[in-house]
Amino acid sequence: MIELHLTPNDDLSDILNNLNQPATIYLKSGIYRQKVEIERNDLTVVGENRETTVITYDDYARKIHADGREYNTFRTYTLCVTGERVKLENLTVENSNSDPRSVGQCVALSVNAKAFSAVNVDLKSTQDTLFSAPFPDDLVNRYRGFIPENQLYMEGGSAQLYENCGIYGTVDFIFGCGEAYFHKCRLVSLHDERGYGFVTAPAHSLKQERGFVFIDCDFIADGAEDGSVYLARPWRDFGKCEFIDCRLGAHVNGALYDKWNDTNRDKTARFSHRGLVSASPLSPVKWSKELSDEKTNEIINMFAARFKGINREN
């Protein structure tokens, strides 16, 4: 295991992707204005200070790429991880665009890996802050030749962990088909001029047993109006989310979930919850489910076993 100490003057993508062995990379506090892809396996990237070690860029979906086409959502990332067993600690990843109404989606972090973790990390953007791969099957076909293959394809299941993280956004700010666990995180809904917001937009296939799992998290408003935000809406049929022992601010609508516009995904979405504490009365939509004690314990025990090497004392 080697160690590197880098500053904002260093080219992160070039240095990290030329490593040929596991490494821990320490980032000095500062603004890293770079678009970064981490392709190598077994790297740990540690910031000096969570608030002042910031990787930031400002690509957006309606921007015209050098190839003459719009960037589209999936090329707007500030940081894209395609290497396996990459871990981020103690830093911020940001897409600095603040008005998705005019510029479109703005991804901060895209994780296209089966094994990934982020601990004490802030992810900041507005619409589509965090993409958790894989892609829905229909988009794999649509974007063949448009998205690089190492970002588009991912075989097998994933296990992504986000612990003690702050994830900020407005609409669909956690989306994708990944199996991802959020433990003791802060999900922060920002003000959006459109007057509504959605924390998650899952697109899991029916064969996936787990989707997005939130355990002991806080859903907080930073500008979002009371009753204007839903915990989840299904981006594709069978999208799955489970919310366990979480605390909800008054910005969360009592219905909890939305079916996505005029679709019939209320018949296929797999949304469930247990032990929610809300600042406002709850009346969950009838097509959602309350988890049983047995199922809740099963999920928590499975989570603890899978990530037993992760510190959960924060």
Mean pLDDT of the chain: 95
Tokens linked to 145: 């030749």
Tokens linked to 200: 């998650």
Higher pLDDT, 304 or 86: 86
What local confidence, expressed as pLDDT, does residue 81 receive? Answer: 98
User: Considering only CA atoms, which of 115, 130, 127 is closest in space to residue 80?
Assistant: 130
For residue range 238-256, list pLDDT tens digits in order. Answer: 999 999 999 999 999 999 9
End-to-end CA distance of the chain: 26
Model confidence band, residue 133 (pLDDT cutoffs 50, 70, 90): very high
Model confidence band, residue 310 (pLDDT cutoffs 50, 70, 90): very low
For residue range 204-222, list pLDDT tens digits in order. Answer: 999 999 999 999 999 999 9
Which 3-state string (H, E, C) describes the chain? CEEEEECCCCCHHHHHCCCCCCEEEEECCEEEECCEEECCCCEEEEECCCCCEEEEECCCCCCECCCCCECCHHHCCCEEECCCCEEEEEEEEEECCCCHHHHCCCCCEEECCCEEEEEEEEEECCCCCEEECCCCHHHHHHCECCECHHHHCCCCCCEEEEECCEEEECEEEEEECCCEEEECCEEEEECCCCCCEEEEEECCCCCCCCCEEEECCEEEEEECCCCCEEEECCCCCCCEEEEECCEECCCECCCCECCCCCCCHHHCCEEEEECCEECCCCCCCCCCEECCHHHHHHHHHHHHHHCCCCCCCC
What local confidence, expressed as pLDDT, does residue 266 receive? Answer: 97
Residue 314 has pLDDT above 60, yes or no: no
What local confidence, expressed as pLDDT, does residue 201 receive? Answer: 98
Q: Could you tell me the residue ranges of all domains in the chain?
A: 2-306
For residue range 14-51, list pLDDT tens digits in order. Answer: 999 999 999 999 999 999 999 999 999 999 999 999 99
Alpha-carbon dihedral sign for residues 216, 45, 111, 124: positive
Q: What is the CATH number of domain 2-306?
A: 2.160.20.10
62 vs 59: CA distance, rounded Å? 9
How many Å separate Cα 126 from the centre of its chain?
12
